[in-house]
Amino acid sequence: MRTHASLLLALAALQTGCVEPAPPVRSAPIAADPAPLEPARIAAPAPAPAEPPRALPRWVWVLPVDHGIRADRGGAGGFLAPRAHGKHNGIDLLAPLGTPVRAPCAGKARAGQNSSHGKWVQLVCALPSELGLEPARRVSLFFAHLKDVAGLGEAMAEVAAGAELGSVGKTGNASSAIIAAHLHLEAIVHDDEPSALAEHHSGRDQSDTRGAREVGGALSSRCLGPAGLASKAESLWRARRADPFVLLVCLGAEKPAYTRPSGKLAEASYPWSSEYSATGFDVDAGNPAGK
């Protein structure tokens, strides 16, 4: 995703202030009759020291393999796909049972279990400062139907970007034989950390947040527009819920290239290009230009 990386690089360069070193200041020669100062010899104010370059915001893709979106007799797994209860609030990433699930960002995580989501992990992260948002804004990421969770419990614990959160499973309402193994992933934007930590990812709550509108605006101007990235059928937002694919891609997560899985999973596998289009990069490929 060189397009995004370049955009973010440009942003970072702007924000870290690529200040050119000032020319050496020459002192005026001592003379009995002071000559008028030439404009070029007037000392410019000393520039502020340049900050060291900051690391680019680079999120991590959630799985080590990419088999695209799950769709099978149990339903379609795209963002906002029609469901018996209304619309799908996340994306179902098709993957073999036991595939490790990684934290896209550093943040605070906890785990739990309920009848519909099965074993789940919630991860709350700050958003990259390069987006120019209010610094308090947070995203709550939700990973459901896990087979197991990696040492997480009810209390929030700090996790690093790329840390293993658990593995892909079929728990909760994904346990039916007609539903292929997948990771259900949701992303909800909140105004601050306390409200993000209190997020329950219940489909009954479709309230909006100021933060979600802010992130939507920032992604539109800095990622979706320049990359020509769009959903072919659906909105990329549902009130405070973001399309997780778009959020991760725009934040620089290097997705592995899409491959059709072998065996039973193959018929449930739909590439990203079946749901998204982009003019600036190939939505199915990983990061071919950036390597």
| 116 token code pair | 């519909």
Among 4, 110, 184, 241, binds Zn ion (CB under 5 A): 184
State the burial class of residue 102 (Cβ atoms within 10 Å of its Cβ: 0-12, 13-18, 19+): buried
| 115 token code pair | 């009848």
Alpha-carbon dihedral sign for residues 146, 151, 153, 156: negative
- Shortest distance in whole angstroms from residue 88 CB to Zn ion: 6
If the CB atoms of residues 92 and 130 are measured against Zn ion, the closer one turns out to be 92
Cα–Cα distance, 68 to 79 (Å, whole number): 12
- Shortest distance in whole angstroms from residue 200 CB to Zn ion: 16
| 208 token code pair | 């909006």
- What type of residue sits at position 202? S
- Shortest distance in whole angstroms from residue 55 CB to Zn ion: 32
- Shortest distance in whole angstroms from residue 184 CB to Zn ion: 3
In the bound state, the residue with its beta carbon closest to Zn ion is 184
Give the x/- contact pattern for Zn ion in 130-169, rule: CB under 5 A.
----------------------------------------
Cα–Cα distance, 235 to 238 (Å, whole number): 7
List the beta bridge partners of residue 84: none
Give the x/- contact pattern for Zn ion in 68-107, rule: CB under 5 A.
------------------------x---------------
Residues in contact with Zn ion, counted by CB under 5 A, come to a total of 2
Binding residues for Zn ion, rule: CB under 5 A, are: 92, 184
